[in-house]
Structure 1
Amino acid sequence: MKLWLKKISVVLITLMTVGMYIPPTYLDGNAESSKAVSDSEDQGEALAAEPNAVNTEESLDEDSSIEEAFADLDSNTYVIDALSEQAVDYTMAKLGPKIIEKVEDDVMTTILPNIEEVLEMLLHEEDPEKLKYLSISELGSSPYGEKIFHLYDDLSEEEIAMFHVRRDKKPKDGYWFNFHYHLSDDDFEEHYNIGDVYWDKNTPPKWMSS
């Protein structure tokens, strides 16, 4: 009886030992497999990150281009506003205080807005890269001359447009101030009307009279 129990005990211990034993080769293989999976996952994450890096660079380039475009737009807007303001100042100076005192309402409501509109139209027709080279020429100083100002290209040293005002005497009506401009496109031959302002039947004073 004791011998039988002893044999059974030996068999049970053997079975338990076999179940718990893991060969070293299996452990090494499992470790290598886990490492391979881990390396594969790391490589996959790196590959997945690469498109994001490219997208980020493209996004930065787009943002930079947009900022440059807005900067150019702001710069051109500033140039147009500055030239328009100078044109208005020259027109008022050309007429002078004595004339302005009498015709200010018509000049402010009709002539100046029309001059600004024409000037801005001409500036928008120019190459945006060229705007920074445009300027308003000196105010015409002749007491009876027509010149108010000219739009000038400093780069080519050529005039683009001429803004003038002349005195027109109409029979039985009196004197009018005719504002107009000429363009280089037709060698300044054509008169393009800006507007007319009535003065009086009496002769108006010289330009810039105070």
Structure 2
Amino acid sequence: MMKLWIRKAFVVIITFMTLGIYIPPTYLNAALEKDGLVSEKPSDNRHTMEDQVVVVEEAYSDVEELDETDSIINTLTEQARMQAISKLGPRIVNQVEEDLLTMILPNIEEVIATIMENADEEERNYFAVSENPTPGYGEKIFHLYDVRTEKDIARFHVRRENRPGEGYWFNFHYHLEEDGFEEHRAIGEVFWDKNTPPKWMA
């Protein structure tokens, strides 16, 4: 009976050691180094290691800059998404949700990302999304603007179009400051129905 118990204990101990649950104490490595049993690494590797550290630091700063830009873009696109859904209102969103999620919102996000990438690095930090979509029949969804100057950079709108024989469509578009907000740049269109859609934000 005792031999069986010892054998089971031995199996458990071996299992722990094999699976890496048991970690030998670090003083064993220190004793090996002190006794000279561990070979020293060649000193010429030191320069290579320093060069690698510099390369890693440069790569890290590039990644950090990208992460900051991505973070700003993600924040703005999330705010834009919320404003677009708010603008349409629950009655419209319930009917056009699939087209909105698969076509319109990704296109809006792509436009914002392009505007951000083309902007100066310092300017990006001051971009914001306006928070008051126009209710009723107005076109404004939101504006992308510079908080320092309060000037619009881009204006995102949606317009209702009643096409004879087809019905009502929602035309999503945007305007840019560079041409005085004159040109309509398409984001996409979503079909509503032959019946008149409710007012925005209804």
The normalised TM-score by structure 2 is 0.71
- From 118, 126, 136, the equivalent of 2:119 is 126
Q: Which residue of 2 aligns with 1:78?
A: 71
- From 190, 199, 206, the equivalent of 2:183 is 190
Distance 1:198 1:64, change over 3 A: same
Deviation, structure 1 residue 128: 2.2
Tell me how far apart the structure 2 counterparts of residues 119 and 174 of structure 1 sit (CA, whole Å): 30
Q: What stretches of structure 1 of length at least 5 have no aligned partner?
A: 1-48
Deviation, structure 1 residue 172: 2.0
- From 155, 162, 165, the equivalent of 2:158 is 165
Q: What stretches of structure 2 of length at least 5 have no aligned partner?
A: 1-42
Q: Which residue of 2 aligns with 1:203?
A: 196
CA deviation map 1:10-46 (0-9, x unaligned): xxxxxxxxxxxxxxxxxxxxxxxxxxxxxxxxxxxxx
Is the 8 Å Cα contact of residues 87 and 135 (structure 2) preserved in structure 1? no
The normalised TM-score by structure 1 is 0.68
Tell me how far apart the structure 2 counterparts of residues 95 and 127 of structure 1 sit (CA, whole Å): 32
Secondary structure of residue in 1 paired with 2:159: strand
Is the 8 Å Cα contact of residues 135 and 201 (structure 2) preserved in structure 1? no
Deviation, structure 1 residue 59: 6.6
Q: Does 1:156 align with 2:165?
A: no
Q: Does 1:175 align with 2:143?
A: no
Size of the alignment, in residue pairs? 160
Give the RMSD, CA atoms, in angstroms.
Answer: 2.2
- 1:91-170 equivalences under 5 Å are 91-170=84-163
* Aligned partner letter, 1:74: D
* Aligned partner letter, 1:108: L
CA deviation map 1:149-200 (0-9, x unaligned): 1111123331110000011111122111100000001000000011111111
Report percent identity of matched pairs.
49
Deviation, structure 1 residue 63: 4.7
Tell me how far apart the structure 1 counterparts of residues 70 and 80 of structure 2 sit (CA, whole Å): 15
- The structure whose Rg is larger is 1
Deviation, structure 1 residue 58: 7.2
* Aligned partner letter, 2:100: V
* Aligned partner letter, 2:60: E
162-171 or 106-115: bigger deviation: 106-115
Is the 8 Å Cα contact of residues 86 and 133 (structure 2) preserved in structure 1? no
* Aligned partner letter, 1:206: K
Deviation, structure 1 residue 141: 3.3
* Higher helix proportion: 1
Secondary structure of residue in 1 paired with 2:155: strand
